[in-house]
Chains A and B, each alone.
Chain A
């Protein structure tokens, strides 16, 4: 049984594409067949974050318009052959695709993949409607900021109105030092306000910038964000993973404790 997951947020710039890239790659690391679809037509991004920008020949709109076969447009990842990307078109606009066409495309992909991840554009217009049309579940990404949470709440409302079966929350870019000072919303506060199930908390990590620069998702690497994303992947697959202590300082002592944990 394959699962179709849309990654959405409402507000732009909170980390939808980074989340899609890392969760997709993480699921592939866990030996799943994964395809990621960039549904942000006109503003192609996911290919760059994955480091696959030089390999695009055909795109989502080409497939839908029948200019190529689906197989021709799928780009295999260099490192994980079970991981594929269907890039979006850069020179078209959002109306080039309809929700019905998306559902049809997803049905076709379901034959071959365990997970179909849809990277949703910001906003609640056509692009959003296309992205959620064929999805079974949603990962709502937010940051601990008033504007992002407000938009996330609106998105949750729209997803519920569209009868999305499962909606989980990812809190991105949290800074524990600021939370401690009382200058950032706590994880519990955000969960309390949005009242949906929390599936992951990703700390603000410089390594994210480094990984995006290099075009290599950092999921599973030895850094806070990498671990957090890896845990999210396991939870997506239904495994129960305790939430990690984001406060833990990196150091000799910590490395020492870690040796015993493993």
Chain B
């Protein structure tokens, strides 16, 4: 068993912990998929004013991140927004 342990990267307990942490962050944020979709559309609308983005490739999710303060990890909104063209002029 010990040798097998060496090959196994993580115990299933660790896996459970990591899964739970992520799961509870989004549970606690109480974000419905509809709300996430609305946030996503609003982000697209705002960013599109300044640059050309790939709306299809946009990905947002709630995760957690190390806070700068001393209070450990805090919930964070993670957004990955692929930019098509930076030279897009503001429409104003």
Contact = CB atoms under 8 A, between A and B. Distances in A.
B13 A150 contact: no
A150 B28 contact: no
A186 interface: yes
Contacts, number: 41
Interface in A189-239: 189, 193
Interface stretch (A13-21, A82-90, A176-184): A176-184
A157 B28 contact: yes
A32 interface: no
Contacts of A183: 11-13
B20 interface: yes
A193 B17 contact: yes
Given A182-B11, A182-B12, A183-B12, A189 B27 contact: no
A53 B10 CA distance: 47
Contacts of A154: 27
B17 A185 contact: yes
Interface residues of B, number: 14
Contacts of B16: 144-146, 184-185
Contacts of A184: 12-13, 16
Contacts of B19: 146
| Chain B binding surface, main DSSP class | helix
A193 B14 CA distance: 12
Contacts of A146: 16, 19-20, 23
B21 interface: yes
A186 B17 CA distance: 9
Interface string A129-145: 00000000000000011
Contact of A189 (B17, B23, B24): B17
Contacts of A189: 13, 17
A146 B23 CA distance: 9
A51 B24 CA distance: 38
Contact of B21 (A145, A179, A193): A193
A149 B28 contact: no
Interface of A: 144-146, 149-150, 153-154, 157, 178-179, 181-186, 189, 193
Given A157-B28, A183-B11, 18 more contacts: A146-B16, A146-B20, A149-B20, A150-B23, A150-B24, A150-B27, A153-B24, A153-B27, A154-B27, A182-B10, A182-B11, A182-B13, A183-B13, A185-B13, A185-B20, A193-B17, A193-B21, A193-B24
21 contacts: A144-B16, A146-B16, A146-B19, A146-B23, A149-B20, A150-B24, A150-B27, A153-B27, A179-B13, A181-B11, A182-B10, A182-B12, A182-B13, A183-B12, A184-B12, A184-B13, A185-B16, A185-B17, A186-B13, A189-B13, A189-B17
Interface of B: 10-14, 16-17, 19-21, 23-24, 27-28
